[in-house]
Structure 1
Amino acid sequence: MAGMNDGHMPGMNGTTTSPPPHRHKMMKHMTFFWGTHSEILFSGWPGTRTGMYALALIFVFALCVLVEWLSHYRLPAKPGVAAGILRSLLHALRMGLAYLVMLALMSFNGGVFLAAVAGHAVGFLAFGKPEEAHAGKAMAYLPLISC
Protein backbone atom coordinates (compact mmCIF):
# COMPACT_ATOMS: atom_id res chain seq x y z
CA MET A 1 0.00 0.00 0.00
CA ALA A 2 1.50 3.29 -1.05
CA GLY A 3 2.31 5.85 1.60
CA MET A 4 2.49 3.46 4.54
CA ASN A 5 6.28 3.21 4.86
CA ASP A 6 7.39 6.59 3.55
CA GLY A 7 6.71 8.54 6.74
CA HIS A 8 3.31 9.82 5.64
CA MET A 9 0.07 9.02 7.39
CA PRO A 10 -3.21 8.18 5.67
CA GLY A 11 -5.61 11.10 5.64
CA MET A 12 -9.23 11.63 4.67
CA ASN A 13 -10.44 10.78 1.14
CA GLY A 14 -7.47 8.45 0.52
CA THR A 15 -4.92 11.27 0.60
CA THR A 16 -1.79 11.19 2.71
CA THR A 17 -0.57 13.84 5.11
CA SER A 18 2.91 14.62 6.34
CA PRO A 19 3.75 13.73 9.94
CA PRO A 20 3.90 16.62 12.41
CA PRO A 21 7.33 18.25 12.60
CA HIS A 22 9.56 16.85 15.31
CA ARG A 23 10.33 19.31 18.04
CA HIS A 24 13.82 19.26 19.49
CA LYS A 25 13.53 18.23 23.12
CA MET A 26 16.45 18.39 25.51
CA MET A 27 16.96 15.20 27.43
CA LYS A 28 16.35 15.57 31.16
CA HIS A 29 19.11 13.95 33.17
CA MET A 30 18.28 11.92 36.24
CA THR A 31 21.91 11.43 37.29
CA PHE A 32 24.78 13.88 37.61
CA PHE A 33 26.48 14.80 34.36
CA TRP A 34 29.29 17.11 33.36
CA GLY A 35 28.89 19.52 30.51
CA THR A 36 27.88 23.01 29.50
CA HIS A 37 24.73 21.99 27.62
CA SER A 38 22.13 22.20 30.35
CA GLU A 39 18.89 23.91 31.32
CA ILE A 40 19.04 25.67 34.67
CA LEU A 41 15.90 27.26 36.17
CA PHE A 42 14.43 28.46 32.86
CA SER A 43 13.68 26.73 29.57
CA GLY A 44 16.54 27.33 27.17
CA TRP A 45 18.82 28.97 29.75
CA PRO A 46 21.80 28.94 29.64
CA GLY A 47 21.55 27.20 26.27
CA THR A 48 24.59 25.92 24.41
CA ARG A 49 26.89 28.93 24.81
CA THR A 50 29.72 28.44 27.28
CA GLY A 51 29.63 32.08 28.41
CA MET A 52 25.99 31.79 29.43
CA TYR A 53 26.78 28.57 31.30
CA ALA A 54 29.52 30.40 33.23
CA LEU A 55 27.01 33.18 34.00
CA ALA A 56 24.54 30.56 35.28
CA LEU A 57 27.22 29.13 37.60
CA ILE A 58 28.02 32.61 38.91
CA PHE A 59 24.30 33.24 39.45
CA VAL A 60 23.87 30.01 41.45
CA PHE A 61 27.03 30.78 43.46
CA ALA A 62 25.77 34.31 44.30
CA LEU A 63 22.33 32.96 45.16
CA CYS A 64 23.89 30.57 47.69
CA VAL A 65 26.00 33.32 49.25
CA LEU A 66 22.84 35.44 49.57
CA VAL A 67 20.98 32.55 51.23
CA GLU A 68 23.82 32.19 53.76
CA TRP A 69 23.80 35.93 54.45
CA LEU A 70 20.05 35.88 55.09
CA SER A 71 20.47 32.78 57.27
CA HIS A 72 22.98 34.53 59.54
CA TYR A 73 21.56 38.07 59.44
CA ARG A 74 20.36 39.16 62.87
CA LEU A 75 17.64 41.73 63.27
CA PRO A 76 17.35 43.68 66.49
CA ALA A 77 14.81 41.89 68.71
CA LYS A 78 12.04 44.46 68.75
CA PRO A 79 8.53 43.51 69.77
CA GLY A 80 5.60 44.50 67.64
CA VAL A 81 3.67 43.64 64.57
CA ALA A 82 5.95 45.55 62.15
CA ALA A 83 9.04 43.71 63.38
CA GLY A 84 7.24 40.38 63.10
CA ILE A 85 6.15 41.16 59.55
CA LEU A 86 9.71 42.15 58.61
CA ARG A 87 11.11 38.91 60.07
CA SER A 88 8.46 36.91 58.21
CA LEU A 89 9.23 38.66 54.92
CA LEU A 90 12.97 38.04 55.31
CA HIS A 91 12.28 34.39 56.12
CA ALA A 92 10.04 34.07 53.06
CA LEU A 93 12.74 35.66 50.89
CA ARG A 94 15.39 33.30 52.28
CA MET A 95 13.23 30.23 51.72
CA GLY A 96 12.27 31.36 48.22
CA LEU A 97 15.93 31.78 47.29
CA ALA A 98 16.79 28.41 48.87
CA TYR A 99 14.07 26.76 46.76
CA LEU A 100 15.51 28.42 43.64
CA VAL A 101 18.88 26.87 44.50
CA MET A 102 17.19 23.50 44.95
CA LEU A 103 15.51 23.82 41.55
CA ALA A 104 18.85 24.72 39.95
CA LEU A 105 20.38 21.62 41.54
CA MET A 106 17.63 19.52 39.98
CA SER A 107 19.32 20.12 36.63
CA PHE A 108 21.76 17.40 37.87
CA ASN A 109 24.65 19.34 36.36
CA GLY A 110 27.90 18.71 38.26
CA GLY A 111 29.10 22.29 37.74
CA VAL A 112 25.90 23.70 39.24
CA PHE A 113 26.27 21.39 42.22
CA LEU A 114 29.87 22.50 42.83
CA ALA A 115 28.91 26.18 42.39
CA ALA A 116 26.13 25.79 44.98
CA VAL A 117 28.35 24.03 47.52
CA ALA A 118 31.11 26.62 47.01
CA GLY A 119 28.60 29.47 47.37
CA HIS A 120 27.28 28.08 50.64
CA ALA A 121 30.84 27.55 51.93
CA VAL A 122 31.95 31.09 51.03
CA GLY A 123 28.74 32.54 52.48
CA PHE A 124 29.19 30.62 55.71
CA LEU A 125 32.84 31.67 55.91
CA ALA A 126 31.87 35.31 55.41
CA PHE A 127 28.71 35.50 57.53
CA GLY A 128 28.81 32.51 59.92
CA LYS A 129 28.81 32.93 63.67
CA PRO A 130 32.22 33.54 65.18
CA GLU A 131 33.47 31.20 67.85
CA GLU A 132 31.92 31.61 71.28
CA ALA A 133 33.68 31.26 74.60
CA HIS A 134 32.18 28.48 76.69
CA ALA A 135 33.80 27.43 79.98
CA GLY A 136 37.19 28.72 78.89
CA LYS A 137 37.12 26.90 75.54
CA ALA A 138 36.39 28.39 72.18
CA MET A 139 33.51 26.52 70.56
CA ALA A 140 32.10 26.93 67.11
CA TYR A 141 28.54 25.94 66.35
CA LEU A 142 26.89 25.21 63.04
CA PRO A 143 23.58 27.02 62.58
CA LEU A 144 20.36 25.07 62.74
CA ILE A 145 18.91 24.09 59.40
CA SER A 146 15.23 24.91 58.99
CA CYS A 147 13.77 23.65 55.74
Structure 2
Amino acid sequence: MDHDMGMAAPPPSTMVMMKRRHFMHMTFFWGTKSEVLFDQWPGDSRGMYALALLFVFVMSFLVEWLSHTRFMKPGSNKLSAGLGQTVLHLLRVGLAYLVMLALMSFNAGVFLMAVLGHALGFFFFGSRAFAKPHNG
Protein backbone atom coordinates (compact mmCIF):
# COMPACT_ATOMS: atom_id res chain seq x y z
CA MET A 1 0.00 0.00 0.00
CA ASP A 2 1.34 3.41 -0.98
CA HIS A 3 0.88 5.98 1.83
CA ASP A 4 2.79 8.93 0.34
CA MET A 5 -0.41 10.14 -1.40
CA GLY A 6 1.46 10.95 -4.59
CA MET A 7 3.96 13.29 -2.91
CA ALA A 8 7.63 13.14 -3.83
CA ALA A 9 10.36 12.88 -1.19
CA PRO A 10 11.84 16.23 -0.13
CA PRO A 11 15.15 17.23 -1.72
CA PRO A 12 18.36 16.33 0.20
CA SER A 13 18.95 19.97 1.25
CA THR A 14 15.58 19.95 3.05
CA MET A 15 16.51 16.72 4.81
CA VAL A 16 19.61 18.40 6.24
CA MET A 17 17.49 21.30 7.48
CA MET A 18 15.07 18.86 9.13
CA LYS A 19 17.85 17.22 11.09
CA ARG A 20 19.14 20.57 12.37
CA ARG A 21 15.74 21.77 13.63
CA HIS A 22 15.72 23.13 17.19
CA PHE A 23 13.04 24.30 19.58
CA MET A 24 12.23 28.02 19.78
CA HIS A 25 10.41 29.32 22.84
CA MET A 26 7.15 31.16 22.25
CA THR A 27 6.56 32.05 25.92
CA PHE A 28 8.80 33.64 28.53
CA PHE A 29 11.30 31.29 30.11
CA TRP A 30 14.18 31.45 32.58
CA GLY A 31 17.49 29.96 31.59
CA THR A 32 20.89 30.57 30.12
CA LYS A 33 20.40 28.36 27.05
CA SER A 34 19.00 30.83 24.58
CA GLU A 35 19.56 32.51 21.22
CA VAL A 36 19.71 36.30 21.28
CA LEU A 37 19.99 38.17 17.97
CA PHE A 38 22.37 35.71 16.28
CA ASP A 39 22.25 32.00 15.49
CA GLN A 40 23.68 29.94 18.37
CA TRP A 41 24.59 33.04 20.43
CA PRO A 42 25.04 32.99 23.39
CA GLY A 43 24.60 29.21 23.21
CA ASP A 44 25.23 27.10 26.33
CA SER A 45 27.95 29.28 27.90
CA ARG A 46 26.97 31.22 31.03
CA GLY A 47 29.69 33.78 30.33
CA MET A 48 28.37 34.46 26.85
CA TYR A 49 24.84 34.67 28.27
CA ALA A 50 26.04 37.33 30.73
CA LEU A 51 27.67 39.17 27.81
CA ALA A 52 24.40 39.00 25.86
CA LEU A 53 22.52 40.46 28.85
CA LEU A 54 25.08 43.26 29.15
CA PHE A 55 24.82 43.91 25.40
CA VAL A 56 21.01 44.25 25.60
CA PHE A 57 21.30 46.50 28.67
CA VAL A 58 23.81 48.82 26.95
CA MET A 59 21.72 49.00 23.77
CA SER A 60 18.55 49.96 25.66
CA PHE A 61 20.50 52.48 27.78
CA LEU A 62 21.91 54.06 24.58
CA VAL A 63 18.41 54.29 23.09
CA GLU A 64 17.37 56.46 26.03
CA TRP A 65 20.56 58.53 25.84
CA LEU A 66 20.00 59.20 22.13
CA SER A 67 16.34 60.00 22.79
CA HIS A 68 17.00 62.66 25.43
CA THR A 69 20.31 64.27 24.44
CA ARG A 70 20.49 67.29 22.16
CA PHE A 71 23.67 67.27 20.09
CA MET A 72 22.95 70.19 17.77
CA LYS A 73 23.61 73.79 18.75
CA PRO A 74 20.67 76.18 18.24
CA GLY A 75 22.58 78.47 15.81
CA SER A 76 24.02 75.76 13.54
CA ASN A 77 23.43 75.42 9.80
CA LYS A 78 19.95 74.00 9.15
CA LEU A 79 21.07 71.48 6.53
CA SER A 80 23.95 70.07 8.57
CA ALA A 81 21.80 70.08 11.72
CA GLY A 82 19.05 68.23 9.83
CA LEU A 83 21.50 65.64 8.51
CA GLY A 84 22.97 65.21 12.00
CA GLN A 85 19.54 64.75 13.50
CA THR A 86 18.68 62.21 10.81
CA VAL A 87 21.83 60.16 11.50
CA LEU A 88 21.12 60.21 15.25
CA HIS A 89 17.51 59.19 14.61
CA LEU A 90 18.77 56.35 12.42
CA LEU A 91 21.06 55.13 15.22
CA ARG A 92 18.33 55.40 17.86
CA VAL A 93 15.72 53.55 15.82
CA GLY A 94 18.23 50.90 14.74
CA LEU A 95 19.24 50.24 18.35
CA ALA A 96 15.59 50.19 19.45
CA TYR A 97 14.79 47.58 16.78
CA LEU A 98 17.78 45.46 17.87
CA VAL A 99 16.50 45.55 21.46
CA MET A 100 13.07 44.52 20.20
CA LEU A 101 14.56 41.63 18.23
CA ALA A 102 16.52 40.52 21.32
CA LEU A 103 13.27 40.53 23.29
CA MET A 104 11.80 38.14 20.75
CA SER A 105 14.04 35.44 22.25
CA PHE A 106 11.41 35.38 25.06
CA ASN A 107 14.19 35.02 27.63
CA ALA A 108 13.13 36.62 30.92
CA GLY A 109 16.69 37.75 31.71
CA VAL A 110 16.91 39.57 28.38
CA PHE A 111 13.54 41.21 29.08
CA LEU A 112 14.64 42.39 32.53
CA MET A 113 17.93 43.80 31.21
CA ALA A 114 16.14 45.69 28.44
CA VAL A 115 13.64 47.20 30.87
CA LEU A 116 16.40 48.04 33.37
CA GLY A 117 18.51 49.67 30.65
CA HIS A 118 15.60 51.81 29.49
CA ALA A 119 14.67 52.73 33.06
CA LEU A 120 18.20 53.75 34.09
CA GLY A 121 18.74 55.57 30.80
CA PHE A 122 15.56 57.54 31.37
CA PHE A 123 16.52 58.22 35.00
CA PHE A 124 19.90 59.68 34.00
CA PHE A 125 18.91 61.49 30.79
CA GLY A 126 15.13 62.00 30.73
CA SER A 127 14.06 62.61 34.31
CA ARG A 128 14.50 65.77 36.34
CA ALA A 129 16.85 64.06 38.80
CA PHE A 130 19.97 65.40 37.06
CA ALA A 131 18.46 68.36 35.20
CA LYS A 132 20.34 71.61 35.33
CA PRO A 133 18.36 74.36 37.07
CA HIS A 134 17.05 77.08 34.78
CA ASN A 135 18.13 80.58 35.76
CA GLY A 136 15.10 82.78 35.22
Same fold (TM over 0.5): yes
Q: Is the 8 A contact 1:105 1:113 kept in 2?
A: yes
The higher-RCO structure (CA 8 Å, 6+ apart) is 2
Encode CA deviations 1:14-54: one digit per residue, 9 max, x unaligned: xxxxxx56633331111111111100000010001111001
Q: Which of 42, 54, 58 is the aligned partner of 2:54?
A: 58
Per the alignment, residue 64 of structure 2 pairs with: 68
Write the letter of the residue equivalent to 2:53.
L
Unaligned runs of 5+ in 1: 1-19, 134-147
Q: How many residues align?
A: 116
Q: List structure 1 runs of 4+ shifted beyond 6 angstroms.
A: none
Per the alignment, residue 119 of structure 2 pairs with: 121
Q: Which has the higher strand share?
A: 1
Encode CA deviations 1:67-112: one digit per residue, 9 max, x unaligned: 1100001132334211100000000110000000000000000000
Per the alignment, residue 93 of structure 1 pairs with: 91
1:105 matched to 2:106: no
Cα RMSD (Å) of the superposition? 2.1
Unaligned runs of 5+ in 2: 1-14
* TM-score when normalising by structure 1: 0.72
The alignment-based identity, stated in percent, is: 58
Q: Say which SS state the counterpart of residue 105 (structure 2) adopts.
A: coil
Distance 1:94 1:102 in 2: 12
